[in-house]
Amino acid sequence: MSAPISSAPSPARTVLVIGADGFLAGYILAALRGSGWRVLRGVRRGGVLSEDERYCDLTQLTREQDWRPLLAGVDAVVNASGILREGGRQRFDRIHIDAPLALARACVSVGVARYVQVSALGRPEDGEFIASKHRFDEALLALPLDAIVLRPSVVYATSGSYGGTSLLRALAAFPGAQLLPGDGRWPIQPLAAEDLGELVARALDAGTRGVYEVGGPQPTSLRDYQRQWRRWLRIDGQRVWQVPQALVSLQVRIGEWLGRGPVGETMWRMLRRGNVTAPQASARLRETFGFAPRALSEVLAAHPSQVQDRWQAQLYFLAPTLHVAIVALWLLSAWAGWVAPAADIDALASGSVLQHLTPVALARITATLDLVLAVWLASGRRPRWALGLMGLSVAAYTLAFGLALPGLWLDPLGGLAKNLLVLPALAVAWVLAERR
């Protein structure tokens, strides 16, 4: 009797995901892996890469030939990259058009069959972020390539948040009452990041091409959106404090000028105009992909909140407040170290080991160090390094002065004792420095 013929399992298809380190991409990667795809992660950071990573810096890969080696063995591409504002070499045309279009043309030339573009829902007049995305969408669909463009509305996740969604969650979780931009009547059509990931995975297998707007089943007002998040976070109170629209606009303009902040001019215009899909968009998604995003209430009901969710939401405004307070404290310390009279410094060190260490010069040097650290932290560059050095300096000051001048522990104003609070505050700021 002959043995049954066993068929070897077919090898997994391979998809290259551009922008794989982004917030949305994490959910897209999970959905692709769950659908049986072998995923290659296109990342911008250099250094040693893991086996499933490919170096894809869109500021450099702007020619078709740049992408061809990266497409070896790839069956499909998902582009989830994008920037909300320009800075340095990261320009809208380069990141949203030149590099991904070179990638799409390389897909045509080497025979990669499928390209899914994660774009954005909005109008070109909202700003260059949207306009550049849509210019690429049109160029992509003009190529002889099986391509699908997904244009999502506001994307959220119960397991985390990013940028504007972090801000909206923090506004909803504000103690005492939720803070509401304007009157909060503007309509949005939020969808879960997991649902967007599922649609991307299904789009890779769909035998169609074109543009699909993606949002929840029904529009909801920003006011109701925040109300649902506050209830999900289990924070009491239905009171609402409306922040005047003019004040929000001013804050957005300041953030745009500084190049920081979760909401830029484009996002603010989109929010005020309303960010909703066409009336039949949800039905069209279900007809084409057999799936459409769920309602916010359904998603929140399926994922109960935990205390860590409340921490994240309510620490959102405390983190920058703590940051500013630390900078201010170090600036005051630097100022005090420079203007303190030499006679007072010598009198303080008198009778201790410090009097033999040129205390006046030591005070001026440490004041200069405090100034350098304050400016460093205020710059926002490598904040954890600055905070770490601040912690080391405070520990050193506390140990040195605590041993050399033990009477300072009993200072009525608690000058040295306050360092026992400053040290954990710096540790908290170090943890909160990694926020999105």
Strand partners of residue 39: 15
* Residue type at position 24: L
Backbone Cα Rg of the chain = 27
Rounded (to 5) percent helix, strand, coil in the chain: 55, 15, 35
Could you report the per-residue pLDDT of 159-171, keeping only the tens digit for each?
Answer: 887 877 888 899 9
Low-confidence ranges of the chain (pLDDT < 50): 1-9
Q: Is 210 left (phi over 0), alpha (psi -120 to 50) or beta?
A: left
**Can you tell me which residue has the tokens 């391979």?**
14
Could you report the per-residue pLDDT of 10-63, keeping only the tens digit for each?
Answer: 567 999 999 998 889 999 999 999 999 999 999 987 777 888 889 999 999 999
Residue 3: its pLDDT value, please? 45
**Structure token pair of residue 159:** 């397991």
Residue 223: its pLDDT value, please? 93
| Cα–Cα dist 272/185, whole Å | 9
Walk me through the domains of the chain, giving residue ranges and CATH numbers: 14-316 (3.40.50.720), 320-432 (no CATH)
| Cα–Cα dist 373/369, whole Å | 6
Residue 419: its pLDDT value, please? 86
**Structure token pair of residue 341:** 């009279």
Neighbours of 76 (CB within 10 A): 21
Those residues whose C-beta lies under 8 Å from the C-beta of residue 65, and which sit 6 or more positions away, are: 106
**Structure token pair of residue 113:** 């069959």
Percentage of residues in the chain having pLDDT higher than 70: 93
Please state, in angstroms and as integers, the Cα–Cα distance from residue 261 to each residue in 155, 167, 311, 436, following that order: 18, 9, 20, 10
Those residues whose C-beta lies under 8 Å from the C-beta of residue 171, and which sit 6 or more positions away, are: 178, 179, 180, 181, 226
Please state, in angstroms and as integers, the Cα–Cα distance from residue 260 to each residue in 95, 264, 436, following that order: 19, 8, 11
Residue 4: its pLDDT value, please? 46
Query: For residue 436, with 0-12 CB atoms within 10 Å meaning exposed, 13-18 middle and 19 or more buried, which class applies?
Result: exposed
Q: How far is CA 307 from the centre of its chain?
A: 21
Q: Which of 170, 197, 249, 184 is nearest to 223 (CA)?
A: 184
| Cα–Cα dist 266/130, whole Å | 8
Residue 221: its pLDDT value, please? 94
Residue 271: its pLDDT value, please? 84
Q: What is the dihedral of CA 39, 44, 47, 53, to 10 degrees?
A: 10
